[in-house]
């Protein structure tokens, strides 16, 4: 009877843990931005000139490498663990997204030249 609950508890705890980490990361980022906004407004009210940082450039190349690696690892892990190609194919979705991002990155570089 207890043995039936072990997989369910493991899944709930792992998914819950993942979402807990994501929520805390998002909340920390929110608090950090809010604090920076308060500091900037206080400096502006005092008449201090605030140097704004340049906007971050979107890096498609690193994103493409990341998703390609995730997709490849997922395809290999699913293929090895199940022994079925039909299941391993799901790893091709993030792999395709990563390859697409790399191709977009390459076309953006050639447009800039």
- pLDDT at residue number 69: 94
Quick check: 94 and 69 in contact, CB under 8 A?
Answer: no
Q: Closest Cα partner for 60 from 107, 112, 110, 95?
A: 107
Token readout for 42 is 């206080």
Q: Closest Cα partner for 41 from 52, 30, 54, 26?
A: 52
Tens digits of pLDDT across the chain (113 residues): 677 888 888 888 888 888 999 999 999 999 999 998 999 899 999 998 888 777 777 788 899 999 999 999 999 998 888 888 888 899 999 999 999 999 998 888 776 65
Half-sphere exposure of 23 (CA within 13 A, CB side): 6
């Amino acid at each position: 009877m207890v043995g039936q609950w072990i997989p369910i508890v493991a899944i709930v705890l792992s998914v819950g843990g993942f979402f807990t980490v994501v929520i805390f990361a998002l909340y920390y980022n929110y608090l950090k931005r809010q604090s920076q906004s308060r500091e900037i407004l206080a400096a502006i009210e005092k008449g201090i000139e605030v140097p704004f940082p340049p906007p971050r450039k979107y890096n498609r190349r690193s994103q493409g490498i990341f998703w390609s690696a995730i997709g490849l690892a997922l395809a290999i892990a699913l293929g090895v663990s199940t022994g079925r190609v039909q299941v391993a194919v799901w790893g091709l979705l993030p792999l395709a997204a990563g390859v697409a991002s790399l191709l977009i990155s390459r076309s953006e570089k050639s447009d800039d030249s």
